[in-house]
Amino acid sequence: MTEEEKKTKKEQDESYVKTYGRPPKYKKSSEMQAKIDEYFKICEGEMLLKPDGQPMTNKKGIIYRVKPRPPTVTGLALHLGFTSRQALLNYRGKKEFLDTVTRARSRIEQYNEEALYSKETCNGAKFNLSNNFDGWAEKQEVETKGNACGVILLPTVAEELKPPEDEDE
């Protein structure tokens, strides 16, 4: 086999490896971004409208919404057509999609951060942040006494447990 034939065969093998497996769901980050925006719009819920078609608001001017739901990584993954949240997170490994997926996760993280200030949603938000986002963990400080490696030295007890020696022998 000549060098030219070897080179051609190698190129064919590499192209086979590149096309092997399931084709990607999204070829462009803009396609994914459109679906992400759609998901967050759905999470806002539908505006409650007055008979004249204007949005109904409370005294503070906040619009009433019907069926709002919290955005989640799993919910986003399912909306995008993935079978698991991990499939969505794997898209961060593709350079073109890194910013798109990271920005979407940051929006979900922001929602949970804001939920920390509500008495009703505080515990769920804490759980979600500490388990799904880097840098969020409840820290416990443990004080140790003893040497620097954290080992506590105890007095030897074995000497005290020896049977008494007979003095008559």
**Predicted confidence (pLDDT) per residue in 12-64, tens digit:** 655 554 556 678 889 999 999 999 999 999 999 988 888 998 889 899 888 88
What mean pLDDT do residues 83-94 have?
92
The CATH number of residue 88's host domain is: 1.10.132.80
Which pLDDT score is estimated for 155?
A: 62
Residue 82 in any domain: the answer is yes
| Domain span at 40 | 23-139
Task: Look at the pTM and tell me if it is higher than 0.85.
Answer: no
Q: Which of 129, 131, 99 is nearest to 114 (CA)?
A: 129
- How far apart, in Å, are the Cα atoms of 166 and each of 157, 159, 160, 161, 169? 21, 16, 16, 15, 6
pLDDT at residue 131 tops 70:
yes
Residue 32 in any domain: the answer is yes
**How many folded domains does the chain comprise?**
1
